[in-house]
Structure 1
């Protein structure tokens, strides 16, 4: 899928910046972000990957993501009409192998309680995914 290829390039770039990265993260019921990262400074960045104009036009949830990060970005490929994207958000040009920040997203600091929730959920999701990779059978084991 084109969006997943963009997410891979974005994740590689963020990892090269020493961010911890998760894809397909759910910050709240009804929301699922393409990429979220935790920077070395403790900032949460959300990146939504858009593969075409129609993909962007159909996205009605993106403004709800702003409350769950310190910086918000769009990731698109070089053929995407980037003038469609809101100027008050960040812009990343990406492909399946790499990405580059074209416009840094403005910082909007998360409130303390919200930051604690995102950090806890980010850590739990990362730990559960790692456990699922190292012991796939553990996914079906329930706690007693």
Structure 2
């Protein structure tokens, strides 16, 4: 049976997220888009690496998208590494130098500047790992049996 080809995401940020997710998978990370680590926060991508490390990636499609983001510093306490993902036309001088930088398009990405590592405290890591697992399982269940999952965050 042939798998249907998925169309490209319509929004520029979604295209960046797709390319970043492909790169992260090639690094043996598992990726969740649109993850809520805490009330009032929603990250574009969170990934868990093979050693249990968490990376957050925010995708910015243009200057206005970046300038309008007032919550990004709140994401830092929910990950071991924090990155911005932008396309080749984005003015990278706007981005804080002490964060990671990823250049991406809809088909792939590469890390241009590694984020400094700030290890999560054990209790926070435990919580985020549990939430990551629960959201992943709920989303998978929703895909395999859409009628069975009537509540929760997808």
TM-score category by the smaller chain?
A: over 0.9
Residue 64 of structure 2 corresponds to residue 54 of structure 1: yes
Which residue, 2, 14, 23 being the options, matches 1:4? 14
1:107-122 equivalences under 5 Å are 107-122=117-132
Q: 2:133 aligns with which of 89, 108, 123?
A: 123
What corresponds to 2:85 in structure 1? 75
Compared CA separation, residues 114 and 141, structure 1 to 2 (3 A) = closer
Distance 1:57 1:141, change over 3 A: closer
Does 1:96 find its partner at 2:106? yes
CA distance in 1, matches of 2:150, 2:135: 16
RMSD: 1.1
Aligned to 1:14: 24
Correspondence for 1:66? 76
The answer for the alignment partner of 2:54 in structure 1 is 44
Q: Distance in 1 between matches of 2:30 and 2:151?
A: 27
Structure 1 spans left out of the alignment, 5+ residues: none
Q: Following TM superposition, by how much is the alpha carbon of 1:87 offset from its aligned partner in structure 2, in angstroms?
A: 0.4
Q: Which of the two has greater helix per residue?
A: 1
Gap regions ≥5 residues in structure 2: 1-10
Please give the secondary structure, in 1, of the residue aligned with 2:149.
helix
Q: Distance in 2 between matches of 1:47 and 1:138?
A: 31
Moved over 4 A (4+): none
- What is the rounded CA distance, in whole Å, between the counterparts of 1:21 and 1:84 in structure 2? 26
Q: TM-score, normalised by structure 2?
A: 0.90
